[in-house]
Structure 1
């Protein structure tokens, strides 16, 4: 919003330069984007003159040679091309050396051989109007030589304000004047709408109907007769020009002036062109068309609103009027409309039409219904003053004022606690009264009544404290540490769970969040026979039992993705599962005596299907998800938690026979690992799927929250490979456990690197790594440990060393 400083001073004199005022407003929350000069930037050499003589230029039909008195007996010869110049006129003159608003420096010149020592000015040449048809003729009582800036507003500073969406009241000159008054303490002139020349009641011959009061909370109208259309006075045109508006004629200029002053947009109808003398606010029909003031045909839809007369649409409500009823040079009767429109609905209409105006921008931010009458009153005053109009008795006012004002309690103790310093209660009251809040003393503070124009912005006690803080001075507030205690930190369990989730994300998995409720049918598909907790009041049959595993919701998520073309899927879920009795343990005595509640356990599950990585030129057929891929992910997760584990053969019915395992931690069962049974995946229209699910209550107690460090050694390791024949029913994990137990302290790592099955026996090859932190080991030191490993395998696993 552009705010001319000379217009602001009509209502409050800030008593400071524009740059200082900009800084003060910025400190109170009204951002000033920039300050710039409008009109003449250098006032020297712009004076009042009087045309003493006017003669026709001897060599040009359209030029006049004028003798112009410019003060103290000085007379300048000026060649002028204006058709209306005449002897005896008082005019504005720019002398040589003047700098024009566009930056041009005026010099002495010869025009068709006649020296010209200046320029007689038209309105547009000093940016106080658009008229260039002739020169400005000033009052005859002005003295030649008087600085022109003393009699015409040819120069002013303009503040370009960035008004936040919650402050539509500041989209007006008087609204900002109120802020300046509160920020500086300078006196504020009475509101320009304080005196209303109008009268209430119906207007004979005028009918207004509002079909949708929710969209149009208030509609006001007044009728003026004997209107004379003509140019606006220079003081009004100068204010519009400085504010970025183009003067058109007195009636249209009045609507723009009233909007800029009060914040309330208005629209003037030529009442003789309003068919039937009636207006109706209604929803537009689908595909309905109308021609707007910008000469564009607009196609409307059923979500939009318009104003119609007896012949059809005449205005897009709150956005732009129509050509059919616009004010003409011959207009003599004007119906002035000032209404309040629903901001969000208007914004959607504006976006659909690609049409945003000064009016719609204000309504979108939410004006108060009371502002409609404020704008109407200012327009009435100007219509009577500037157009010679007669106001017809009556004022149509549909909807009336908005809701009753709200009173909030402002506690002095709360102000001190939030701001960290004591603001005297009398200063709090002065600040709020300067902003036109109603203030009354209360026992522990103030009772504050919110004015209508702040109804949507100030709704809580903290909003009042913000008003006090920003105008008392944010720079005065001390830097204090908040008085409340520190917020809670993550528990150890939460940190470990987050670490596990981060490990899965790092492995390329995405997190899914499924319902804790499921259909009873899902357990059959998963081949799980565990009693489920049934809900007494389920949302539906499909959500009537609580889940006992995360597998079902994860499979549904995998199917959802694959059905939409994502073939390679990696998902994990961390969530609660529920059992109708303590699961995997004996109930306590208290649990046995009390009403049984579901046993809630936290699980972590992951599934993967499709390729393990995208194809490349070097590997056109990358490996797909299988048991070993899932085991690798499990190792990553438990490695992040620093939890040692083993796997043993499993037999869960939902897992593939021979590709199923149970996860053991600390010798206790902690979950399953493997590929899903083809019969299960077929139920979900999936191919091969592998994964795991862990009971975190069995995992996290074994996790190391803090890592354990040990010194690095520069001494080399000794690695030896051993291959054993073991019975076919022995597993690699059993062999690794036996080797670790027999290898002693020098054995640092054991890994299986080859498996070979033959005639009912299995050959398992393991690599042993021995290392000492204080010396280089020799084969002689390692030999006894190797022998212990061979004997342990023979005695515990019936294994023998391959030759």
Structure 2
């Protein structure tokens, strides 16, 4: 799991250095495999610029000589090879001394005899995406929306890192199988909040623009118990286009390749919430009906990687009137994928049986970001959370109109389990007295609900820890790993009477 710290800070900004944060996470049980740098260096050399004039290079058909404002009253000359550069554009500029993503230090240069004092940048030159065809043309105002606060007018000379996420440290985490909630960035933010006490911002799924009632123009039927929950929402008047640079940059830093705004939304929401999604072209669903069922022996589907997969009755699929359209929880199919002419989208977010997804992935030799998450056991509640975040982004980034209504087959999971946490049991197992209020604070920061009882706490287990926290000892472990972050636990085990140990011959 790759966690860009620029993105993480939107939900939990600790103010700690990267190494200190990595150490704090490791001490509370989230292993940091390595720390990476993504993007550019020497940020002071990257600024907002405005193209004032352009003229054809006197000795090169494909080069343009640009006069660019790079600060208040400061202009310079830059030679640019992009075909889209034009006067009046607000652009991203690299000045001499800038460190490019590949480590190259930019210098003043002459291109075919004309001096160039920097670069007007394309997306690949900022590690935003692999696109090198055109320069980045910035909006006149800074981006807002799901990236955070924005809307201020951009001015030449303004630091570029305040406009685009052009550089970030990235934590590469080793997530244990019992913690699928940390396969989403917000889940990691929750852990950081618990480990550091830094403020945790509101969950991105708070405030649903959708509604349960309406008339979604597709029928959904679930015929297997291996799909605890299936949700779907429909969007019309969708405009497929490249995603904004901020979204591309976050995906790239997290190890994903930007494709288009709709597909990028599904990947972005998966990385944020930990819940995979799939976007269908609504007009390519044969018969306007999807059926979740076990495959027939020998049934075939062409998956998004272009491979024909032969299935058997242990595999769960999603099919329409013409047959299988995707392998449930593993990979979608080509026949109903979003295409350049797509204008109507069905956003599917479902919950699947973890062991079945794991077995299917092994059997087909097909492992995906989705299967890696589903096989660890996601809660049904996460499906609607991700659906809400996807709805917000679809409305914000595709110009879509949300069709009223939400298809929700199966609904939320079971009611939260309440476990008694006894004060004496905590001190007895850990060998140190931890006050009831301290235990409550640690658990509340992790999302548990607590209420006082005469001998301790009644603790409500949140849905994202339902499969992991099942008994009192599990709660004590949670308290211990957070309480011990500052060496507050004894280094030796509590004494035991009558315990004898001897060395045996080798």
TM range (shorter): over 0.9
Corresponding residue number in structure 1 for 2:330: 319
Q: Which one has a bigger Cα radius of gyration?
A: 1
Sort the Cα spacing of 1:204 and 1:245 in 2 relative to 1 into closer, same or farther, 3 A. closer
Q: Please show how residues 61-460 of structure 1 align to structure 2 within 5 Å.
A: 61-140=61-140, 141-201=153-213, 203-213=215-225, 215-460=226-471
Q: What is the alpha-carbon distance in structure 2 between the residues aligned to residue 318 and residue 408 of structure 1? A: 32
**2:33 matched to 1:22?**
no
Q: CA deviation at 1:52?
A: 1.6
Q: Secondary structure in 1 aligned to 2:459?
A: strand
Deviation at 1:488, TM superposition (A): 7.4
Q: Secondary structure at the match of 2:44?
A: coil
Q: What is the aligned partner in structure 2 of residue 530 from structure 1?
A: none
CA distance in 1, matches of 2:12, 2:172: 18
Return the structure number with greater relative CO, CA threshold 8 A, min gap 6. 2
Equivalent residue pairs, number: 492
The TM-score, its normalising length taken from structure 2, stands at: 0.94
Per the TM alignment, residue 117 of structure 1 is displaced from its structure 2 partner at its CA by 1.7
Quote the Cα distance in structure 1 between the aligned partners of 2:162 and 2:268: 23
- Out of 492, 495, 500, the position equivalent to 1:480 is 492
Q: What is the aligned partner in structure 1 of residue 40 from structure 2?
A: 40
In 1, Cα distance between equivalents of 2:253 and 2:465: 27
Deviation at 1:332, TM superposition (A): 0.8
The whole-number CA distance in structure 2 between the counterparts of 1:83 and 1:257 is: 30
Deviations 1:460-510 (A, max 9, x none): 1011001111111252111334343345789xxxx9xxx9xx9xxxxxxxx
Residue deviations 1:398-457 (CA, integer Å, cap 9, x gap): 111111111000000011111111111111111111111110001100000101100000
Matched residues in 2 for 1:363 and 1:139: separation? Answer: 38
Q: CA deviation at 1:25?
A: 0.5
CA contact (8 A) 2:273 2:386 kept: yes
Residue 55 of structure 1 aligns with which residue?
55
- CA–CA distance in 2 between the matches of 1:78 and 1:479? 62
Gaps of at least 5 residues in structure 1 are 503-803
Aligned partners of 2:381, 2:291: CA distance in 1, in Å? 21
SS in 2 for 1:44: helix
- Alpha carbons of 1:75 and 1:453: their partners in 2 closer, same or farther (altered >3 Å)? same
Label 1:424 to 1:45 Cα distance change in 2 as closer, same or farther (>3 A): same
Tell me the equivalent position of 1:680. Answer: none
Q: Deviations over 1:521-579 (max 9, x none)?
A: xxxxxxxxxxxxxxxxxxxxxxxxxxxxxxxxxxxxxxxxxxxxxxxxxxxxxxxxxxx
Change (3 A) 1:138 1:481: closer
- Is there any run of 5+ residues in structure 2 with no aligned partner, and where? 141-152
- Distance in 2 of aligned mates of 1:462 and 1:212: 35
Q: Deviations over 1:156-201 (max 9, x none)?
A: 1111111000000011111011111111111111111111111114
CA distance in 2, matches of 1:489, 1:387: 68
How far is the alpha carbon of 1:67 from its aligned partner? 1.2
Specify the SS of the correspondent of 1:106.
coil
Q: For residue 462 of structure 1, what is the aligned residue in structure 2?
A: 473
Q: Distance in 1 between matches of 2:326 and 2:500?
A: 58
How far off its partner does 1:74 sit? 3.0
**Partner of residue 791, structure 1:** none
Task: Give, in angstroms, the shift of residue 224 of structure 1.
Answer: 0.8
Moved more, 72-81 or 1-10: 72-81
Instruction: Report how far residue 389 of structure 1 moved.
Output: 1.0
Compute the displacement of 1:205 (Å): 3.0
CA distance in 2, matches of 1:218, 1:324: 24
Q: Deviations over 1:686-726 (max 9, x none)?
A: xxxxxxxxxxxxxxxxxxxxxxxxxxxxxxxxxxxxxxxxx
SS of 2:68's partner is: strand
Question: What is the distance in 2 between the residues matched to 1:192 and 1:454?
Answer: 19
Distance 1:109 1:176, change over 3 A: same
The aligned residue for residue 143 of structure 2 is: none
1:268-321 deviation digits (Å, cap 9, x = unpaired): 000000001110111111121111111111111221111100100000001111
Q: Is the 8 A contact 2:216 2:233 kept in 1?
A: no
Residue pair 2:216, 2:234 contacting (<8 A) in 1 also = no
Deviation at 1:150, TM superposition (A): 2.3
**Residues 42 and 97, structure 2, Cα contact 8 Å, conserved in 1:** no
The 2-side partners of 1:238 and 1:313 are apart by 34
SS in 2 for 1:409: strand
**Aligned pair in 2 of structure 1 residues 481, 489: CA closer, same or farther (>3 Å)?**
closer
How far apart are residue 204 of structure 1 and its match? Answer: 4.3
Judge which range, 145-154 or 420-429, deviates more.
145-154
Distance in 2, Cα, partners of 1:468 & 1:408:
14
Aligned-partner Cα distance in 2 for 1:9–1:297:
42
Superposed, which structure 2 residues align to 1:761-776 within 5 Å?
none
Instruction: Tell me how far apart the structure 1 counterparts of residues 501 and 50 of structure 2 sit (CA, whole Å).
Output: 82
Matched residue of 1:324: which SS? coil
